[in-house]
Structure 1
């Protein structure tokens, strides 16, 4: 497994990371035994970066990861944790601004450390910006926890260029986590240039656009009510049909390359720069193996042109979140 360094200030991590959210939440039912087996398979394959959030499954995801890592060498794994989103006992997300206050930083961190059964977190980050709480206050509190040894690095998530600059003026930032894929290329406009100017890495989630780019999706696939995609604009009606036509075009390129559609989509993100680390959301070992195959795929300039002709910039039909969620994204203001 090749390693990539997350910016000037972050750790060296595996070139591909594993996002664990779907093992607990938002993508319908999951098999806990298979989830742990998938986490173990990822570690055995050389994946070192595991991403979670304290609100995934209202803490379930952290406890799952804690159990999976119990017999593993903690120093061989980098845990990336988001905080700030709030939920009710029935699992609903509270329609209130993200709690990323200095007090919340310390409180939520204490619970994450206990659930993960660790005494430090490698990268700790607010899940979203709260417009009523200056980012300088949040990052200042995170830096206190870094200096105290409870976290190793400070990350950001889904914030725009101006917020990145303000945060970086307070403390070293390892990386920005943001959705980035063939169907979501917004960060290329202003955000990615600022990250590179400041020496900040990018961890890309949604590289398969919630499964759309996997090559396994169909318009007839049923979705449970607790599946995020049942309410995602890109998975609705005419939008879905238009997006699947893009995937069909990508599949034809993948066939010429002798690779799977998902592998080409992941390899495209990998090819955008060594300062970018894609996160794959595999919940099963077979899907993990498929995703890891992207690391063996070398794309030349002609290959990249064909891929981007199949899925042109801004060709995606529908926003990546429903309107209420889009309104909370500081990153979308760029």
Structure 2
């Protein structure tokens, strides 16, 4: 078990994004079976967002947890801009509650900091909804250390969600230390590098990874040389590359939320919780993936504008 702020959660959560869009076509019946298997394994923390599949992901998760809600921690996220219109936190939460078919969302994030809305204003709106019992914890996603401090001064934050994996370690410089200083839980999305660290990549034309700079032919060739160290460690420990990558993230005291459509991959990911990497192995992996060395930005240029700029490397 783990904690995010005052929320007790499973050591790993489940990121549901890929069940609706982004990584090619998903089968809804298979997705629900995967979610049910996650609950059966002991996963209690499920992450979705209003923007995943234009609301479909929340509806899907809502159907999957019907009759199984007790003991689960449900998280969702919103942005102020939706379909070209400004959305308040209240409007977003009310819509999320309806799509999830619940009367309370345990953790609700500002998905991206809005350039036209001070983060203090966004968090204040969420604090009012928390006081009314519509949401539990307040979170922000992809905020800088300075934005975290500004938001936390308005209303105590439960969680920060940011990308974190062996090939995305920027947060170690300023952001992760700030969460620890302020007592804010850290939730790591894409802990398997969008599948790359487990040996996967885009296989369908409508897979969004096809437009990600890290999945160009040249970037994959360069980054695969680093991934070889993960594969070597996996072979030595007789586990899978995915398990090595997740075990590394878990060693940092954060809560990763890997996602998958496949029960076999889900079970493989969950088993990473039984792996304890020794200090020498952690150093070996980090030497292969020094901060800032991964070839290619983690998002296309336009999306990179909505995430914190990488700080100077320490």
TM-score normalised by the chain length of structure 1: 0.90
1:138 aligns with 2:122: yes
Distance 1:183 1:121, change over 3 A: same
Deviations 1:20-49 (CA, angstroms, capped at 9, x unpaired): 000001111011111001100111111011
1:286 aligns with 2:264: yes
Alpha-carbon distance in 2 for matches of 1:59, 1:306: 41
Alpha-carbon distance in 2 for matches of 1:41, 1:86: 34
Residue from 199, 224, 243 that aligns with 1:244: 224
Residue from 178, 184, 187 that aligns with 1:200: 184
* Partner residue, 2:293: 315
Alpha-carbon distance in 2 for matches of 1:125, 1:330: 16
Please report how far the alpha carbon of residue 85 of structure 1 lies from its aligned counterpart in structure 2 after TM superposition.
6.5
Deviations 1:269-291 (CA, angstroms, capped at 9, x unpaired): 00012xx1001111111110110
TM-score normalised by the chain length of structure 2: 0.95
* Partner residue, 1:227: 207
Alpha-carbon distance in 2 for matches of 1:71, 1:84: 29
Please report how far the alpha carbon of residue 71 of structure 1 lies from its aligned counterpart in structure 2 after TM superposition.
1.8
* Partner residue, 1:299: 277
Q: Is the Cα–Cα contact under 8 Å of residues 215 and 260 in structure 1 kept in the other structure?
A: no
- Deviating 4+ runs (over 2 angstroms): 85-88, 309-315, 330-334
Alpha-carbon distance in 1 for matches of 2:184, 2:98: 29
Residue from 115, 126, 132 that aligns with 1:148: 132
* Partner residue, 2:73: 78
Alpha-carbon distance in 2 for matches of 1:149, 1:330: 31
Q: Is the Cα–Cα contact under 8 Å of residues 49 and 76 in structure 2 kept in the other structure?
A: yes
Please report how far the alpha carbon of residue 312 of structure 1 lies from its aligned counterpart in structure 2 after TM superposition.
3.0
Alpha-carbon distance in 2 for matches of 1:332, 1:121: 31
- Equivalenced residue count is 312
C-alpha RMSD of the superposition:
1.6
Alpha-carbon distance in 1 for matches of 2:209, 2:122: 31
Alpha-carbon distance in 2 for matches of 1:251, 1:271: 18
Please report how far the alpha carbon of residue 330 of structure 1 lies from its aligned counterpart in structure 2 after TM superposition.
3.1
Structure 1: gaps spanning 5 or more residues: 89-93
1:264 aligns with 2:264: no
Distance 1:116 1:140, change over 3 A: same
Q: 1:85-104 to 2 correspondence within 5 Å? A: 86=81, 99=86, 104=88
Deviations 1:90-118 (CA, angstroms, capped at 9, x unpaired): xxxx6x9xx5xxx6101111111011000
Alpha-carbon distance in 1 for matches of 2:168, 2:187: 14
Structure 2: gaps spanning 5 or more residues: none
Q: Is the Cα–Cα contact under 8 Å of residues 129 and 330 in structure 1 kept in the other structure?
A: no
Alpha-carbon distance in 2 for matches of 1:293, 1:243: 25
Q: What SS class does the counterpart of residue 76 from structure 1 fall into?
A: coil
Q: Is the Cα–Cα contact under 8 Å of residues 20 and 61 in structure 1 kept in the other structure?
A: yes
Please report how far the alpha carbon of residue 331 of structure 1 lies from its aligned counterpart in structure 2 after TM superposition.
5.5
Q: Is the Cα–Cα contact under 8 Å of residues 79 and 114 in structure 2 kept in the other structure?
A: no
Q: What SS class does the counterpart of residue 122 from structure 1 fall into?
A: strand
Residue from 117, 124, 128 that aligns with 2:112: 128
Distance 1:333 1:327, change over 3 A: farther
Please report how far the alpha carbon of residue 216 of structure 1 lies from its aligned counterpart in structure 2 after TM superposition.
3.6
